[in-house]
């Protein structure tokens, strides 16, 4: 499945994850490992339609992460979480 579209998707997803999980190295690392394993799991797929379908599913997942995941930070002074919603 390692074609140009797959590589472009991989880079877009990494950029999205860097933005969404900014400062959270542990969560970014887990998601990066999962992303890489999913792409490698489908490395032998050669049918162009199936590759396009997999990229489409990946783009839907990227869109979901970009629009629905928020990051909260604990504030010791106020004893509350602070959320930055974009």
- Beta strand spans in the chain (E): 71-75, 80-84
Helices (H) and strands (E) in the chain, counts: 3, 2
CB 67 within 8 A of CB 54: no
- Rounded to an integer, what distance in angstroms lies between the CA atom of residue 84 and that of residue 72? 7
Question: How would you write the pLDDT of the chain (86 residues) with one tens digit per residue?
Answer: 568 889 999 999 999 999 999 888 999 999 999 999 999 999 899 999 999 999 999 999 999 999 998 888 888 999 888 887 76
pLDDT number for residue 9: 95
- pTM across the whole model: 0.80
* Residues 67, 70: Cα–Cα separation, whole Å: 8
What's residue 29's pLDDT?
Answer: 95
């Amino acid at each position: 499945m390692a074609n140009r579209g797959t590589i472009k998707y991989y880079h877009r997803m990494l950029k999205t994850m860097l933005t969404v999980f900014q400062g959270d190295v542990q969560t970014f690392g887990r998601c990066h490992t999962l992303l890489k394993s999913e792409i490698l799991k489908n490395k032998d797929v050669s049918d162009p339609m199936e590759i396009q379908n997999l990229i489409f599913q990946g783009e839907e997942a990227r869109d979901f992460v970009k629009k629905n995941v928020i990051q909260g930070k604990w504030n010791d002074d106020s004893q509350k979480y602070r959320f930055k919603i974009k």
